[in-house]
């Protein structure tokens, strides 16, 4: 098979890029090592920045998102009994959209065939070859047969553990990483949310987050040491802990129910540079990981896709090779700003085991400042809703 762009990974970023390229007449194929059902089974983030929403609008794939998604004008920071509301609509004139990543992926998957986007699922043993050249290719196995895809460019949208990033030599790359001493234990349940907006809580027992996927489905988190095991956390234990950490106002409105899904996700900040080597471009988790504090993961991948689609369309449709050369620096400039925000919000809302009275006093002082300063709230709101692409 020959194509202009081979995309590795059929998660939301790979599918979104594929649709954007096809809309501009660029030939591409998406290769995914898992089945489509497996891709849809992954539980991920649900807060969409304007850039993600606008890309779905641009593709005309926003109807279900607009019908079922929940526009949010703000969110809350809690510290004990204090609730600090960040009015993102009033401060920035923008909103975020609560719409599950699974649902966004489903919208992109279901539109693929009708829009001529070829997606190959169950493509095992994926390997990238000659990425430093102008004639890279991908090999994979499906149904016991070996296949080869020749392309002009390869885009790795295959996550942190995929093969794309590993194809870039260590001699030309740099990795930046911070591993946090805790993970987020999440519970998904078909119960109404305790608040119509998200609550990020800093409590002496640890961090908690009250979020949602719809009016009838809620997603909650508490931070736990990395040594914790999910089997030691019954549903009742999680609900009890949430009621304490979120504070009395939220606790009074919590509806308990059986979990649909429970998991513990470790937290890390990670950046790989450059995001382009030869004819290989990286997007999303293949190049960077952010702590979930601040809901940047999917949205940062969407901004990468935006830049990658511009670069590839420029190359093929406008004979602009410089657009490819500029991709990495352009994407990384936004990545670092999103990493900074996620890191700072994580530091503000979590109790780190190495912290003492001074660090706690700094958190209290910062929250005091935020509660009384429109300038501080505006800075948070601008970052939360998404910096300009």
Which of the residues 203, 296, 330, 350 is marked catalytic?
296
Which of the residues 12, 193, 291, 292 is marked catalytic?
292
Q: Is 229 a catalytic residue?
A: no
Token pair 């608040």 is found at 195
Closest CA to 9 of 21, 18, 20: 18
Q: Is 137 a catalytic residue?
A: no
Kind of pairing between the strands at 280-282 and 153-156: parallel
Which of the residues 137, 180, 200, 220 is marked catalytic?
200
Structure tokens at 21: 């390229």
Alpha carbon dihedral 109, 339, 269, 201, in 10-degree steps, equals: -90
Helices 101-112 & 50-59 angle (0-180, nearest 10):
20
Q: DSSP character for 286? A: G
Q: Give the DSSP H or E segment for 183.
A: strand 174-189
Taking a C-beta distance cutoff of 8 angstroms, is the pair 35, 283 a contact?
no
CA angle 256, 102, 198 (to 5 degrees): 45
Give the distance from CA 357 to its chain's centroid.
33
Q: DSSP character for 256? A: P
Token pair 């471009």 is found at 281
Tally the residues of the chain: 389
Taking a C-beta distance cutoff of 8 angstroms, is the pair 42, 102 a contact?
yes
3-state class of 26 per DSSP?
coil
Q: Is 274 a catalytic residue?
A: no
Q: Is 288 a catalytic residue?
A: no
3-state class of 268 per DSSP?
strand
Token pair 């979104």 is found at 16
Helices 322-349 & 357-372 angle (0-180, nearest 10):
110
- Count other Cβ atoms within 10 Å, centred on residue 160: 14
Cα distance between residue 316 and residue 331, in whole Å: 20
Which of the residues 19, 72, 288, 306 is marked catalytic?
72
Closest CA to 147 of 109, 110, 121, 169: 121
Which of the residues 140, 220, 221, 384 is marked catalytic?
384
Cα distance between residue 72 and residue 101, in whole Å: 16
Active site residues: 72, 200, 292, 296, 384
């Amino acid at each position: 098979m020959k194509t202009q762009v081979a995309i590795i990974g059929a998660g939301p970023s790979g599918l979104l890029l594929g649709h954007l390229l096809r809309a501009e007449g660029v030939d591409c194929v998406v290769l995914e090592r898992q089945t489509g059902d497996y891709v849809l089974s992954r539980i991920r983030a649900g807060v969409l920045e304007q850039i993600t929403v606008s890309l779905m609008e641009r593709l005309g794939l926003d109807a279900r998102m607009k019908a079922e998604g929940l526009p949010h004008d703000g969110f809350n920071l809690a510290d004990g009994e204090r609730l600090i509301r960040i009015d993102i609509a009033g401060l920035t004139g923008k909103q975020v959209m609560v719409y599950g990543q699974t649902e966004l992926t489903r919208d992109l998957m279901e539109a693929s065939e009708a829009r001529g986007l070829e997606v190959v699922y169950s493509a095992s043993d994926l390997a990238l070859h000659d990425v430093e050249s102008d004639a890279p290719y991908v090999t994979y196995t499906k149904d016991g047969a070996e296949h080869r895809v020749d392309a002009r460019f390869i885009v790795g949208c295959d996550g942190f553990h995929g093969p794309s990033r590993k194809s870039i030599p260590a001699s030309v790359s740099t990795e930046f990483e911070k591993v946090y001493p805790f993970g987020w234990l999440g519970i998904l349940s078909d119960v109404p949310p305790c608040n119509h907006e998200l609550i990020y809580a800093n409590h002496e027992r640890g961090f908690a987050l009250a979020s949602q996927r719809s009016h009838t489905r809620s997603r909650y988190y508490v931070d736990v040491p990395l040594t914790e095991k999910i089997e030691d956390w019954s549903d009742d234990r999680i609900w009890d802990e949430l009621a304490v950490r979120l504070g009395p106002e939220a606790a009074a409105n919590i509806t308990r129910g059986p979990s649909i899904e429970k998991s513990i996700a470790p937290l890390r900040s990670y950046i790989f540079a450059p995001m382009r080597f030869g004819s290989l471009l990286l997007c999303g988790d293949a190049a960077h990981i952010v702590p979930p504090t601040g809901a940047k993961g999917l949205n940062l991948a969407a901004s990468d896709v935006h830049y990658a689609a511009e670069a590839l369309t420029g190359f093929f449709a406008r004979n602009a090779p410089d657009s490819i050369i500029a991709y990495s620096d352009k994407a990384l400039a936004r990545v670092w700003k999103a990493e900074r925000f996620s890191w700072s919000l994580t530091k503000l809302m979590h109790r780190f085991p190495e912290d003492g009275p001074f660090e706690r006093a700094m958190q209290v002082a910062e929250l005091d400042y935020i509660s009384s300063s429109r300038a501080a709230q505006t800075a948070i709101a601008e970052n939360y809703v998404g910096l300009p692409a």
